[in-house]
Structure 1
Amino acid sequence: MSDPTLTVLPGDADLEPAFDVRRDVFVDEQGVDEAIEIDGKDPDATHVLAEVDGVPVATARLRVIDDGVGKVERVAVRASHRESGVGRRVMHRIDQLAIENGLDRLELHSQTRVEGFYQRLGYETVSGEFDEAGIPHVEMRKEL
């Protein structure tokens, strides 16, 4: 498997490759309603897309939600590329973008089954479990 190519996409770019990954993971695999998944906030975000041999395999988006605070959302890695390190690389690129944009803290809602992934990246759990789109989540934060 080739190393992934990471591309930063503004919210007004062609986001269909990122949407394809998100649909595959969230809608098809996890059963999230597409009306919830495609939430209208994509134009307000910066997106990272990872491709391997020209095929989109992972994505995430970053939105500024307050002074110095960014929210990481829609982190998705196709099943075929999990455990390959591509998710970690996407998240490191999100960190770089946040720092480049003067953010001091990142927040995200993690599915509880992948909470350990974010903890290994320096995030701390700051809430109890809650439901989001029918899936158990926790809120997590990371100081930059």
Structure 2
Amino acid sequence: MNVKMVTNTEERELAYSIRKKVFVEEQNVPLEEEIDQYEDDCAHFLLFNEDDTPIGNGRFRILDGIGKVQRICVLSEFRGNGAGQTIMNAIEDYAKKQDLSKLKLDAQTQAIPFYERLGYRVASEEFMDAGIPHRTMIKDI
């Protein structure tokens, strides 16, 4: 598996199509909440499998000097083999190159154990986002 930073419209559309499958179709997030006003402010990352098929993605932006990791997703048939961690590692490497020392993300509560294994810690009470329970998590890098 390898992660590529999105550099053109075609790659961005591939990322959107994965997000639509995972968040909109699978998790019933409204499309207008999934593809939002921050897209142009973010660095987008695509994960490819060994066959060069796009299978996951994530996005990243800087808010008030803290890196915010968002929209981490992997197509259902490719989960459970380290794909999510591969995306997270690439985003964290990118964040370090931006001279950031802290990352945060809003994790769906069912995904908290995944992020805890990557060194994130819960930093908020539960809240709803797009009808799904979340908690903010942070990590020093």
Normalised by the length of structure 1, the TM-score is 0.93
* Residue 6 of structure 1, CA deviation: 1.2
Which deviations, in whole Å up to 9, do the C-alpha atoms of 1:98-122 show, x marking residues without a partner?
0001111100000000100000000
Aligned length in residues: 139
1:18 to 15, 20, 28: 15
* Residue 13 of structure 1, CA deviation: 4.4
Residue of structure 1 in register with 2:56 after alignment = 58
CA contact (8 A) 2:101 2:140 kept: yes
CA contact (8 A) 2:2 2:47 kept: yes
2:26 to 26, 29, 32: 29
**1:122 and 2:119 equivalent?**
yes
Which deviations, in whole Å up to 9, do the C-alpha atoms of 1:71-105 show, x marking residues without a partner?
00011111001101011010000110000011111
CA RMSD of aligned residues (A): 1.1
In structure 1, the gaps of 5 or more residues are none
Normalised by the length of structure 2, the TM-score is 0.95
CA distance in 1, matches of 2:3, 2:138: 24
CA distance in 2, matches of 1:43, 1:101: 18
* Residue 16 of structure 1, CA deviation: 0.5
1:136 to 114, 123, 133: 133
Residue of structure 2 in register with 1:43 after alignment = 40
In structure 2, the gaps of 5 or more residues are none
Q: Which runs of 4+ in 1 moved over 6 A?
A: none
Residue of structure 1 in register with 2:73 after alignment = 76
